[in-house]
Amino acid sequence: MPKYRICPSILNADLLNLDREISRIAQESDLLHLDIMDNIFVPNKTFDLSESQRIIASSPIPVDVHLMIADPDDSAAVYALAGATSVTFHLEASTDVGSTVESIKSAGARVGLAIKPGTPFSAIEEYLPLLDMVLVMTVEPGFGGQSFMAEMMPKVRQVRSAIDQLPLPTPWLQVDGGVTLETILKAAEAGADTFVAGSAVFRSPEPAAMIIEMKNLLNRATLI
């Protein structure tokens, strides 16, 4: 397993040519990040269930589903059953984190728990031992192309230090929002190991080359 993972988000890809867009980045990417929004939990709507099922079934690489929906407790497992490798839901939207974690796991996927910028580390702390991934949002969820919130880095550090006290295998620590060549090292230095990048990748003339550049940056930084 690589030390760092890059997960391109297709939210801002050319959705009319999605298969082609995915094939352009598949070889360099660790996971394909699929943002599901319901226009309730966030003020935006994306892929419905049948579109999501089609994308998951046809993706040449493992799919990392990020649910920004108001009722994850009822529907999270559906994405796992559709074949997603990882399903992440928001703490703020869940009324029963423990049973949603269990339903995702029993449906065969890795489970992630996400927190919005306003949610403190303390809200997620008790769940860490149950998780395969923690997602610390570095923008308000809802849209691609926003600026990275460097003020989230103390929270990333808190999660990292708690994760490092858990028995192996420890959860991955993902950041999502505003990740670019300029910001990725800030997140890595704070302890993130899994990076979602949407517009930085798909708005680049050479999306695959952008992913390689991000990985090179991360790998060079760890040598210092």
The set of catalytic residues is 35, 176
* CA distances for 60 relative to 13, 19, 36, 107, 182, angstroms: 16, 9, 19, 21, 29
Q: Return the residue matching tokens 């070889």.
A: 27
H-helix or E-strand spanning residue 158: helix 153-163
Answer yes or no whether residue 176 interacts with Zn ion by CB under 5 A: yes
Cβ neighbours around 206 below 10 Å, total:
11
SS3 169: coil
- CB distance 115 to 124 below 8 Å: yes
Out of 6, 28, 34, 66, which residue is the one contacting Zn ion (CB under 5 A)? Answer: 66
Out of 22, 131, 173, 179, which residue is the one contacting ligand DX5 (CB under 6 A)? Answer: 179
The residue number with the shortest CB distance to ligand DX5 is 198
Per-residue binding string, ligand DX5, 117-146, x by CB under 6 A, is: ----------------------x-xxxxxx
> Which range in 8-16, 84-92, 120-128, 162-170 contacts ligand DX5 by CB under 6 A?
8-16
Answer yes or no whether residue 85 interacts with ligand DX5 by CB under 6 A: no
> Which range in 30-38, 42-50, 120-128, 184-192 contacts Zn ion by CB under 5 A?
30-38
Out of 198, 210, 215, 218, which residue is the one contacting ligand DX5 (CB under 6 A)? Answer: 198
DSSP H stretches of helix in 72-183: 72-81, 97-106, 153-163
